[in-house]
Structure 1
């Protein structure tokens, strides 16, 4: 819910670092050639193709100055030296060194004028609506909110009138998803984006000190099984260490509700199916191990805390927003580690020559892995229900799945029907760290949170996701025409 006393001039967003953001903005805007980003509030980066807001701060002015100087240089490059002959000797016209100095002085003057005018505004010192508690408004911090699942969760929270702060370092997330959300919910006090790395404890604590959070939905994490076997330390740092940083900040700033995004990978390869919450956890890859470590840390901390904790162990996520506003757009360099749905779509679009299925000798009916595929819309509904039912001093642990196992071969056939494409399939040896069969028993979450998966038609979920892919050929990047 938006604050009733907010005005469009309220500075709303904060950044702890600009280095990677500048790179992201450059990537998003290299075709638009923005002239200057000295614009307040909703249109602060309007020329960068979207609505991303930041608090006025020292680095903000430095960024403006940097952008002004950069564009000034692009507009008026110094002319090459001109030569002329005098008495048989070549002479070069002196370069006017004062020109660049004048540009710096001019840019600095504009920035100083802007700061002076801004400080005269009565809204300059007005507290941000995100920094204060408001009756009837629940403020949720969504870590990883620019990512696939986090952005869908943010959309649902905003639709349900929550106030949301996204914290993301954009290493896996996409600023385009944030732009879509800002366009859908432009009212002051609804949504803010903070660029930060959760591994930076100082920045995380600053974020908590400047914002009045009521709850945290912790999605931010690297999440590819194959990649975790190649670079395990990255996974332990990114998942386990960063979760510890978030938990410490919550404790220090009295934020007492945590919804933790965990995974069925913590179970490893159980002897019995389906998997219940009491199934022993024996993860077999660094991704699952890092998530289990995080769960253990959270539960150990909770023993001496009144924090309300919900841990959701979910299965293989598919689908997209049925309204066509959000989808999955992984970084191109991560395609080989991505979800099977993304691999199917890449093959259907001709980005890859075909689909590679790893492992056909598992002890399953058709020899390929069996998984429980959960639609992202159902998944975020489970998160909202977990938030609504979180109780102080209680830890709730739930499997989030459909309760149905589908083989990879079944999935590929459903993808072919959903896309209408002829997909070539190559069968390869097993991938390290994979397990044969995993599907859930979701009876506990149904009984305690009244949650049941609604989008269980595999082909239909893939068709919805395919529709978004077709209309977003370049992901969230601008495109002249869809294919």
Structure 2
């Protein structure tokens, strides 16, 4: 009888040890998976590691910012609903930084306050870089309520979650559109904010909310008002890939590349002209934009410079302080100049069609970036328009389908 009991105990012990060994092996395999991040890693503060929530991190600017943060050894969590972002960009970042605890992606909409609160509860964020926003001037005039909800209301949700979970640092992605159309150039941070379209108005409202809220807390806030973004990652890993249905609202660089690739027949440039007949003369060319060549003037900032300003702002952010900075080159370039640079960069003689002015648009906007230069020691380095476009074109010409499998042309 004793021998029988001994055998039963031995078999039972063997089963327990076998099950424990199997569980250990499965856990090790699971932990080594590139998509695995231990809940313990992201849910606790770790000395020497700054965990940054990047909202809209699957988008054009947000993905480049996430890349720079990861290169600089930050821990990054991307939250994006992929309405404007690209999962392909996230997958590239995951392949570049597969180590557990470096990068995680969460699919979520910032309009869902319950979900946002859950994300903050489960992650020990040290800072937030808030990029997520719809961001087309023309579209904002057609869908103003969408813009106020997506930009202003969602910023409120993020701030409430930060307050509830004691996250004290915010880097806010704003825009020169909050200034509207100033009568004096260049634009400084003291230039009155008088936005003329729903996009700029929604961003200004968000700024006002952030500033008012910061007065009641010890938050470290940096607000970056940047100008027209161009370019892409110099190493060719990331680029700009807008939704096809949004091309008519998108950036001029995207339109130039679409024209160069033959996706669209040519480039449409806002420029209103009026001709009238008075015998025996024909009078013409009354420019809608009051600029030197009749096309609007913008300050084009390379995305690499832009994200470096964000990361630097994070390093300089101080509790109880609000920093507001223009991020631009300080030089205005007309759309005609831009188109000529794009022609040289792509080697394609792009056809140009001139149209009437877009609703909510403005004639001339360029920055005075001296404040950010003096206070953060930042200055734009990629200021050659053609070179920035050439770098972006290298990515674009092999990405006819954006982040879908590469397809070379030309």
TM-score if structure 2 supplies the norm length?
Answer: 0.88
Match of 1:462 in 2: 389
1:357 and 1:10 map into 2 onto residues whose CA distance is 58
1:482 and 1:165 map into 2 onto residues whose CA distance is 34
Select the residue among 111, 120, 145 that pairs with 1:199: 111
Select the residue among 326, 333, 336 that pairs with 2:248: 336
Select the residue among 410, 421, 428 that pairs with 2:348: 421
The structure-2 alpha-carbon separation of the partners of 1:417 and 1:54, relative to structure 1 and needing over 3 Å to count, comes to same
The structure-2 alpha-carbon separation of the partners of 1:212 and 1:272, relative to structure 1 and needing over 3 Å to count, comes to same
1:378 and 1:329 map into 2 onto residues whose CA distance is 19
8 Å contact from structure 2 (residues 345, 390) kept in 1:
yes
8 Å contact from structure 1 (residues 42, 186) kept in 2:
no
Residue 254 (str. 1) matches residue 181 (str. 2): no
Once the two structures are TM-superposed, the CA of residue 472 in structure 1 deviates from its matched residue by 1.3
What are the ranges of 5 or more consecutive residues in structure 2 without an aligned counterpart? 1-23, 273-286
1:405 and 1:41 map into 2 onto residues whose CA distance is 51
1 or 2 for the larger relative contact order (CA 8 Å, sep ≥6)? 2
2:144 and 2:271 map into 1 onto residues whose CA distance is 22
Structure 1's consecutive aligned runs of 4 or more residues displaced over 4 angstroms after TM superposition are 7-11, 39-43, 480-483
CA offset digits 1:331-381 (Å, max 9, x no partner): 111011000000000000000000000125211000100000000000000
Query: How many residue pairs are counted as aligned between the two chains?
Result: 372
Residue 445 (str. 1) matches residue 372 (str. 2): yes
Residue 149 (str. 1) matches residue 61 (str. 2): yes
Select the residue among 387, 390, 393 that pairs with 2:314: 387
The structure-2 alpha-carbon separation of the partners of 1:127 and 1:340, relative to structure 1 and needing over 3 Å to count, comes to closer
8 Å contact from structure 1 (residues 259, 312) kept in 2:
yes
8 Å contact from structure 1 (residues 416, 423) kept in 2:
yes
Residue 403 (str. 1) matches residue 330 (str. 2): yes
CA offset digits 1:136-169 (Å, max 9, x no partner): 0000000000000000000000000000000000
Instruction: Map 1:173-192 to 2 at 5 A.
Output: 173-192=85-104
Residue 432 (str. 1) matches residue 359 (str. 2): yes
Match of 2:403 in 1: 476
CA offset digits 1:395-415 (Å, max 9, x no partner): 000000000000000000000
CA offset digits 1:414-452 (Å, max 9, x no partner): 000000001000000110100000000000000000000
2:61 and 2:30 map into 1 onto residues whose CA distance is 30
The structure-2 alpha-carbon separation of the partners of 1:234 and 1:10, relative to structure 1 and needing over 3 Å to count, comes to farther
Once the two structures are TM-superposed, the CA of residue 40 in structure 1 deviates from its matched residue by 5.0
8 Å contact from structure 1 (residues 259, 311) kept in 2:
yes
Match of 1:234 in 2: 146
Residue 222 (str. 1) matches residue 149 (str. 2): no
Select the residue among 121, 129, 138 that pairs with 2:41: 129
Match of 2:70 in 1: 158
Instruction: Map 1:251-330 to 2 at 5 A.
Output: 251-330=163-242
CA offset digits 1:159-195 (Å, max 9, x no partner): 0000000000000000000000000000000000000
Residue 357 (str. 1) matches residue 284 (str. 2): no
1:386 and 1:9 map into 2 onto residues whose CA distance is 42
Once the two structures are TM-superposed, the CA of residue 471 in structure 1 deviates from its matched residue by 1.6
Once the two structures are TM-superposed, the CA of residue 480 in structure 1 deviates from its matched residue by 5.2
Instruction: Map 1:364-379 to 2 at 5 A.
Output: 364-379=291-306
Once the two structures are TM-superposed, the CA of residue 290 in structure 1 deviates from its matched residue by 0.2
The structure-2 alpha-carbon separation of the partners of 1:273 and 1:303, relative to structure 1 and needing over 3 Å to count, comes to same
3-state SS of 1:471 partner: coil
What are the ranges of 5 or more consecutive residues in structure 1 without an aligned counterpart? 1-6, 12-38, 44-50, 56-125
1:8 and 1:368 map into 2 onto residues whose CA distance is 65
1:341 and 1:482 map into 2 onto residues whose CA distance is 18
